[in-house]
Amino acid sequence: MSSLRRANQGDEFESYNNNLKVSIGSVQVGLLAEARSLQTDLDRIAENADTGSAAGRTQVLQEATLSLLRHPEYWAYGVAKSEQSRLDSAEAKFNQYALAERSKFSEETLSSYNNQLTGKGAQNSLPVSQTNDTLVTQKLEAPGEYIVVTIIVGTQGQLQLPTINSTEDLKRALSQVGAISSEQLLAVEVLWTPQASGDTLTSEDIVAEYPDIKLI
């Protein structure tokens, strides 16, 4: 969240002040387990992410949303939410969204901080999560039927995401998030579970861990 902190202190974006409206948004997609190529795409994005620059963070966001938009045939669940916050409280709100998702995982096994990728890779490990200069992967155990991808953003101005009741709603939400410009994007985190290509989530996992997500 260093971009939000710098904005708040005024040393990166001189025109910012604490009354600036920031939107915090989240789009979550539950995919059929057949979407194996998405796991490979997200691994590649994680390994090559330049999270230390605005352009690099925007590229991560665009590539993640494009990977999802290219595979609507695998979409099974979806949910989106967004809210506005003042700049001085936006970091806490963003962290609240991110921690709510990261707390669902038992272990972080891969981390990229300041573009340094470290950790034990691997078998039976899941999500890679990405905060504007942080990337992590977590671990899950039982195999199942689904993969869940979560994209969380902090952006200048208003971001009003649609309620997800259909694949068209989900497409619109992903397109809105993916279209955020580098000038507006303040922070991004991408998490997916599981990360390992042989692992998936069961329908019971979905119900237990993602109570707000809707079948589409």
| Residue-wise pLDDT tens digits, 124-160 | 333 333 444 444 434 333 345 899 999 999 999 999 9
Is residue 9 in a domain?
A: no
Is residue 6 in a domain?
A: no
Is residue 142 in a domain?
A: yes
What is the domain range of residue 114? 18-215
Counted domains in the chain: 1
Is residue 44 in a domain?
A: yes
Is residue 199 in a domain?
A: yes
- Which one-letter amino acid corresponds to residue 22? V
Q: Per residue in 15-70, pLDDT tens? A: 455 667 899 999 999 999 888 778 788 888 888 878 778 888 899 999 999 999 99
3-state secondary structure of 46: helix
Is residue 206 in a domain?
A: yes
The structure's pTM equals: 0.80
Is residue 1 in a domain?
A: no
Is residue 13 in a domain?
A: no
Bridge partner residues of 163 (DSSP): none
Structure tokens given for 44 = 């590649």
